[in-house]
């Protein structure tokens, strides 16, 4: 009779090892399902006009402020203004499948506004639950947008061809349908109208646009990146919700040549306050915070931006945060409960 082989001291029994592995596998599967499952956003009413700040940050890789992106939902359309870093994650947190985005509108082609575009384009093509785009990828943007999408198609050609062959994904759905825009109405479908507003991001950074989105007598205007712009004030007049970028630096850093260039391309708080005062929105909201600092001199805080704006504007004002959302009613703009990232 052969004796039972001795088990090394401290070794787990084989069936215990299997059970442990099964538990760990179950936890991993559950975690992955939780990550991919649709977020439970507040349901959208049939006639609701909702605006969600997906990203309110800058090129700085901040965990609480992802790259610039604004989701506008109205008239059955899901429209995305810019596609900055982390936009796909924020779309999921806002309760959308990536394939539910009907069109993307690019304010300009700086990398922080478009770096999330290939993720949305490629990942939205997948036919998993979190993606499921059914038609071409629709993009409106300034001159250079077609070249951008053509370049992405070349860069990701291996992935595209592999997925067509291996997963039988529809080649028509990875096609980018690009419209290079000029100032004026660029989109008018189902009662939703989008007007491109030429703004001033600097002499060497043309063209750059803001967008005004209108539906059923209500509107939101998103500034994009701009210096103080008379044209934006004119085109945004009477808008219900004005979402505007802002840049600031402490006085002791104004001599920094890099910071001087950055500030010269953006609107500072006191200037934005003048814009708000003249446009007279029901609510003004800051996004795309470009707050500059060094290891020795900390960046301006959002509370300081608010106080500086109050020198030139006394009306309704909010400091935007990622996943902050608003409902545009006929007579008011209502902030909705924020989904904490």
For the question of residue 307 being annotated catalytic, the response is: no
Q: Which domains, and CATH codes, for the chain?
A: 50-336 (3.60.15.10)
| pLDDT confidence band for 341 (50 / 70 / 90) | low
pLDDT by residue (tens digit) across 4-60?
344 333 444 445 454 444 433 343 334 333 334 444 556 788 889 999 999 999 999
Mean of per-residue pLDDT scores for the chain: 90
Alpha-carbon separation of residue 18 from 7, 106, 129, 235, 324 (angstroms) = 16, 52, 30, 66, 45
pLDDT by residue (tens digit) across 238-255?
999 999 999 999 999 999
Catalytic residue among 47, 82, 102, 112: 112
pTM: 0.88
| pLDDT confidence band for 339 (50 / 70 / 90) | confident
pLDDT by residue (tens digit) across 197-240?
999 999 999 999 999 999 999 999 999 999 999 999 999 999 99
C-beta of residue 36 within 8 angstroms of C-beta of residue 128: yes
pLDDT by residue (tens digit) across 46-97?
889 999 999 999 999 999 999 999 999 999 999 999 999 999 999 999 999 9
pLDDT by residue (tens digit) across 277-334?
999 999 999 999 999 999 999 999 999 999 999 999 999 999 999 999 999 999 999 9
Which helix (DSSP H) or strand (DSSP E) does residue 270 occupy?
helix 269-279
What residues form DSSP beta bridges with 317? 284
User: Nearest-5° angle of CA 49, CA 53, CA 59?
Assistant: 150
pLDDT at 45: 83
């Amino acid at each position: 009779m052969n004796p039972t082989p001795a088990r090394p001291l401290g070794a787990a029994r084989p069936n215990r090892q299997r059970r442990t592995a099964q538990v760990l596998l179950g936890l991993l599967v559950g975690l992955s399902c939780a990550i991919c499952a649709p977020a439970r956003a507040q349901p959208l009413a049939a006639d609701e006009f909702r605006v969600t700040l997906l990203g309110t940050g800058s090129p700085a890789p901040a965990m609480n402020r992802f790259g610039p992106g604004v989701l506008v939902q109205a008239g059955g359309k899901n429209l995305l203004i810019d596609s900055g870093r982390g936009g796909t994650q924020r779309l999921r947190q806002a309760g959308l499948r990536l394939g539910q985005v009907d069109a993307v509108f690019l304010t300009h082609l700086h990398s922080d506004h478009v770096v999330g575009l290939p993720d949305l384009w490629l990942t939205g093509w997948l036919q998993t639950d979190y993606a499921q785009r059914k038609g071409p990828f629709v993009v409106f943007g300034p001159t250079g947008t077609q070249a951008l999408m053509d370049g992405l198609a070349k860069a990701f050609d291996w992935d595209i061809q592999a997925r067509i062959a291996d997963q039988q994904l529809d080649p028509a759905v990875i096609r980018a349908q690009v419209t290079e825009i000029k100032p004026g109405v660029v989109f008018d479908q189902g009662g939703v109208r989008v007007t491109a507003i030429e703004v001033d991001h600097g002499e060497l950074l043309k063209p750059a646009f803001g967008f005004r989105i209108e539906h059923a007598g209500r509107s939101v205007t998103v500034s994009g990146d701009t210096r103080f712009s008379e044209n934006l004030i004119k085109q945004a007049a009477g808008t219900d919700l004005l979402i505007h970028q802002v840049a600031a630096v402490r006085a002791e850093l104004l001599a920094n040549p890099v910071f001087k260039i950055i500030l010269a391309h953006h609107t500072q708080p006191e200037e934005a306050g003048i814009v708000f005062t003249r446009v007279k929105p029901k609510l003004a909201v800051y996004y795309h915070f470009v707050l500059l600092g060094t290891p020795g001199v900390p960046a301006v805080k959002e509370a300081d931006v608010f106080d500086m704006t109050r020198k030139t504007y006394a009306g309704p004002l909010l400091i935007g945060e990622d996943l902050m959302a608003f409902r545009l009613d006929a007579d008011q703009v209502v902030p909705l409960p924020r989904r904490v990232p």
